[in-house]
Chains A and B, each alone.
Chain A
Amino acid sequence: MPLRNHIFVLIAALLLAGAAPGAVGEQLSHALKPALGTKMSDVKASIVSPDGSGLPRGNGSVFAGEQLYKIKCASCHGIDGKQAGNLLVGGLNSLASGQPVKTVGSFWPYATTLYDYIARAMPYNQEKSLSVDEVYAITAYVLKLNGILGHSDTLDEISLPRVEMPNRYGFVELVP
């Protein structure tokens, strides 16, 4: 334990010793907070939101994404994104049918979420191995498989937040 922690504990003990006996359930005073956080800048891959905040500069094409998808994604998701259990494609207009098929195309409300998830959590067992441009490219290709982008389209940090997903207005937020 560093010296400063010992000092903090000592000061806390002195403060407590001078106070009235503590009641059960009583919380420690705010005045005792040690303020040990060190100032820093965020260096890890940022968390991306629908307004585009957190997106890094870069770009990737549907064409480049197709090549990457075959190598990095198809073994789990199928060459067409329709592998059972790991579906990415299909299910449009199925959500109210009683046999809903939830995919990127039929269910996901924001395209930015796709970038965010691929960048930080894919490919499975090789997470965080893709470059920024590769993530844009794979994102573009998955959107193309869903008919949301055309085969000659490209995505970057400006265009991705502007992609409107088919189920964009399919959610009710239960926020307190």
Chain B
Amino acid sequence: MADFSAGGGILNRRALLKASGVGLAAGFLAPAQAEEEWMTRAGESPGKYGAQSAFADLSRERVGGHEFGAGAGSSSTPLQKLNGTITPNSLHFERHHSGIPAINPDRHSLTIVGAVKRPLRFSYEDLHAYPMETYVYFLECSGNSYRNTLASPANVTAGALSGLVSCAEWTGVPLHYLLDEAGLESSAGWVIGEGADAAALTRSVPMKYMLDNAMLAMYQNGEPIRPSQGYPMRLFLPGCEGNISVKWLQRLKVQNTPAYTRDETSKYTDLLKDGTAEMFSLRMEVKSLITSPSGKMQLNRKGVYEISGLAWSGEGAISKVEVSADGGKTWAEAVLQSEPKSLALTRFRIPWQWSGAPAVLQSRATDNRGNIQPTRSAALQRYSRAGFYHYNGIQSWQVTALGEVKNAFA
């Protein structure tokens, strides 16, 4: 008998391979396989720069922003087509405010000015002489999943809905090395980071964040970061809203106050019900979603499936992910893959037996600071109904009796 651990067919998380009588139709004999053409002649020669299989069909999806003009907008990671936790560089989400600049690194530098003893300029080449560090971090746009704040659920894929989050191994120079060399004045409380794109995107960073774990990132998953991620260098603030990790970083201005730039006042602030707005809401909240099965997928048979998804928190590491197949009435704890890393995506898995009856799949993440992912209705209580940043409500995927999987507000 199947070993259930929650309602709606959630199986014991360690029982996937033991589940009997519910797997792929037993006794079905596949026809003998003919020799395929790739078995009988030499394939392509080694190439210079790899490409995906012609059959893999991986691509990002434009999320919007066309209305602002060429170059603006965003594209999202196809979370439902990936597994593990690392996002390939070609599929890392993008959000640009005036397009991707084509920067020649020989004509780009980082300057540190303002309340420092020695204003300094660093060339791209010289920065390679500094001690670098390597970490796996997620990056999430604070507008991720905004469509779940709207009045009706968008029937789209997990990636189109919540793919403004990605995870990579980032390598670069800890910023405290460079700030120390410039010599901080006693008044230094904030560092204003400015990009070299046409939008000159600029954000104010509290000094505490800068000296703690901020990085001047130059490599992503082992290769120089792509132009779309800030080549030749970007600011990286782990766990914080993506917008503050300023791409194409060209200047750090040290001063005693924030600059209150356009992108930290008019945008990227969170309107409350009383009409006031929260400013410098920098940390991304604990969050998760099931990536399989997920929106626009089709279940073509009853039986056992692996529910799999991603969880993360801007405040630390994921400590627990629970999964429900009955819309949150009962929950079972999923398996976390390997040791969850702080400020990185964590993969979770649990087996599920689909009986063919309608079901609502949900996941609920908890981090090691005790933060628990809220329900959608609780998440919406936090801000004005018109608010759309920092949404981290529980994602519901409705499975119909026909096996269709759809975004739902449960």
Contact = CB atoms under 8 A, between A and B. Distances in A.
B277 interface: yes
B147 interface: no
A25 B273 CA distance: 45
A98 B385 contact: yes
A96 B121 CA distance: 46
Interface string A43-55: 0101111110110
Contacts of B119: 39-42
Interface in B171-189: 177-178, 180-182
A47 B98 contact: no
A40 B111 contact: yes
Contacts, number: 175
A13 interface: no
B229 interface: no
Contacts of A120: 194, 200, 202
A48 B259 contact: yes
A115 to B, nearest CB: 11
A169 to B, nearest CB: 8
Query: Which of A9, A27, A128, A172 has most B Cβ within 10 Å?
Result: A172
A63 interface: no
Interface in B93-121: 97-98, 111-113, 118-121
B269 A171 contact: yes
Chain A CB within 10 Å — which of B111, B177, B251, B259 has the most? B259
Contact of A113 (B127, B133, B250, B262): B262
Contacts of A99: 386
Interface string B12-55: 00000000000000000000000000000000000000000000
Interface stretch (B278-286, B296-304, B340-348): B278-286
Contacts of A48: 259
B265 interface: yes
Interface string A124-155: 11011000000000000000000000000000
Interface string A69-95: 000000010000000011000000001
A121 B198 contact: yes
A56 interface: no
Contacts of B122: 36-38
Contacts of B113: 42
Interface string B151-181: 0000000000000000000000000011011
B131 A37 contact: no
Contact of A172 (B201, B253, B277): B277
A96 B200 contact: no
A170 B277 contact: yes
Contacts of B265: 107-110, 113, 171
A8 B128 CA distance: 11
B389 to A, nearest CB: 12
B129 A9 contact: yes
B224 to A, nearest CB: 16
A105 to B, nearest CB: 11
Nearest to B269: A171
Nearest to A117: B262
Interface in B48-100: 67-71, 97-98
Contacts of A35: 181
Contacts of A124: 68-69, 98
Interface of B: 67-71, 97-98, 111-113, 118-123, 125-131, 133, 177-178, 180-182, 192, 194, 198-202, 206, 208-209, 250-251, 253, 255, 257-262, 265-266, 269, 271-282, 384-386
Which 3 A/B pairs are nearest by Cβ-Cβ distance? A96-B275, A37-B120, A95-B275
Given A1-B125, A47-B202, A125-B98, 12 more contacts: A5-B126, A40-B121, A47-B194, A47-B253, A50-B260, A85-B67, A121-B199, A125-B198, A170-B277, A172-B276, A174-B278, A175-B280
29 contacts: A27-B133, A33-B180, A33-B181, A34-B126, A36-B122, A37-B121, A37-B178, A39-B119, A39-B120, A40-B121, A44-B251, A47-B192, A47-B202, A47-B251, A48-B259, A96-B275, A99-B386, A102-B271, A107-B266, A116-B261, A120-B200, A121-B97, A121-B198, A127-B200, A128-B198, A172-B277, A173-B278, A173-B280, A174-B278
